[in-house]
Amino acid sequence: MLPLRKNIAEMAGYVPGFQPRDEHRYIKLNTNENPYPPSPKVIEAILAEVGDGLRKYPDAASRAGCEEAGRLYGFDPEWIIMANGSDEVLNNLIRAFVSEGEEVAYVHPSYSYYSTLAEVQGAKVRTFLLDEGWSLKDFPKRYKGKLFFLTNPNAPLGFCYPQEFVEEMAGRVDGVLVVDEAYADFARENSLDLVRRLPNVVVTRTFSKSYSLAGMRLGLAIAHPEVIAALNKIRDHYNLDRLAQAACVAAMADQEYFRQCVNKIRETRDWFSAELRVLEWEVIPSHGNFVFASPPDRDGKRVYEALYERRILVRYFSDPALDHGIRISIGTREEMEKTLAALVEIG
C-alpha cells in the first residue's frame, strides 16, 4: 500500500467537462469555450517565438504580461501575477492563506473545483446555498474563515451580483474575498475598483473564455502587492512558457478584436435566451458566455441525452440543485440555430 496522505486517498477529484477525441463531429457547447479563434496577432506572436528561443527558459516573472495587464486594467505591475490558468492562482491562494484544518468557503452552486483544491490542502470546506433570489442562506454577520470564493458572474447559473453586494461581502469576511471573474468580460461591471480600495479583495481572471485561449492555459490575479508577493513565492518559478507569455500579451493588446468577439457572443446569447423563452423554457438572465436553462418538464437529463444523440454537447449536472436544467455554452449563431432546432424537435 502506497503511503498516500489520507485526504488524497479519500477525495474524489474534480471531473472536467467531456472532451471528445473527434470533436469536429460535434457541436461543442459543454465547456464554455469561445467559438471564435484567437486574435490573428496572437498567432503571429506565437509563431515569432517558435525557433531558437525555445531552448531558453522564459521570463520567470512574466513581466511583459504583468505590464500589459497593468496598462489594460489601470494597475502597477506589482499588483498583478500571471498564471498557468486561473486555476493555478486559486490553488496558490489556498496554499498561501489556509493551513491544514482551516476553513475555505464558497457559494453552492458555483465552481466546485474550489472544494477539490481545498481538500488537497487538507482544509475544511463550507458551502453557502442560494435562495430563490440568489442571496446566500445563513451567511453570518462575520465570516471568520480564511478564504471565501465568490464566482461573479456565477457559473453555472450565469447571474451576476452587483458591486454593492460584493463590497458588502468583503466587509463581512475576516479573511480574503476572492472574486473569481472568469466570465466578467461578458458582464457589464467588475470588482477591479474594489481591489484598489479593499486590501482583502483579490480578483482572478482567465484568458480561456473571452480571449479564446483555453488551449494555452493562461490566467491572472489582481490584488494588493503584499498578496502578489506571497503568491510569487509559491508559484512554479517558470509557470508560463514563452509561447503562453507571447500569446497573453498579444491578446490583451488587441482590444478591438477582443471587443468584437465579446459583442458577438453577447448578442447571440441574448437572442438564444429569448428564443428559449418562446419555447417556454426557464432561462436565468446570463452575464457569461453561456446560459443555464430548464425545459418545461424540468428534466435536464432527458434533454442532455437527446442532444448528445444528435452530437450536440451541453453540460448536465446531477446535483439536485441543478439537475432540472442544462448549461449551454454560446457558440456561433449557426451553431445556436442548429441547437435551437434540435430543442424544438426534442420538445
Q: What residues make up the domain containing 107?
A: 40-253
Please answer whether residues 18 and 311 qualify as being in contact, where contact means their C-beta atoms are separated by less than 8 angstroms.
no
- The reply to whether 201 and 331 lie within a common domain is no
Domain membership flag for residue 10? no
**pTM of this structure:** 0.95
CATH of the domain at 268: 3.90.1150.10
Single residue among 253, 276, 294 that ends a domain in this structure? 253
In a domain, 317, yes or no: yes
Q: How many folded domains does the chain comprise?
A: 2
- Counting as low any pLDDT under 50, the low residues of the chain are none
My answer on whether 272 and 224 are in the same domain is: no
70 and 144 co-located in one domain? yes
Instruction: Say what the pLDDT of residue 132 is.
Output: 87
pLDDT of residue 213: 98
The separation between CA 97 and the C-alpha centre of its own chain, rounded to angstroms, equals 21
Query: Are 168 and 247 part of one and the same domain?
Result: yes
pLDDT of residue 49: 94
Task: Output the nine-digit C-alpha cell for 325.
Answer: 436544467
Q: Give me the pLDDT at residue 18, please.
A: 76
Q: Does residue 315 sit in the same domain as residue 170?
A: no
Same-domain check for residues 271 and 338: yes
Assess whether 222 and 291 both reside in one domain: no
pLDDT at 7: 79
> Does any domain span residue 7?
no
Same domain, 202 and 127: yes
pLDDT at residue 1, rounded to an integer: 73
Tell me, yes or no, whether 47 and 31 share the same domain: no
**160, 184, 249 from 256: Cα distances, Å:** 25, 17, 14
Over the stretch 333-347, which tens digit does the pLDDT of each residue have?
999 999 999 999 998
Tens of pLDDT along 104-144?
999 999 999 999 999 999 999 999 999 988 999 999 999 99
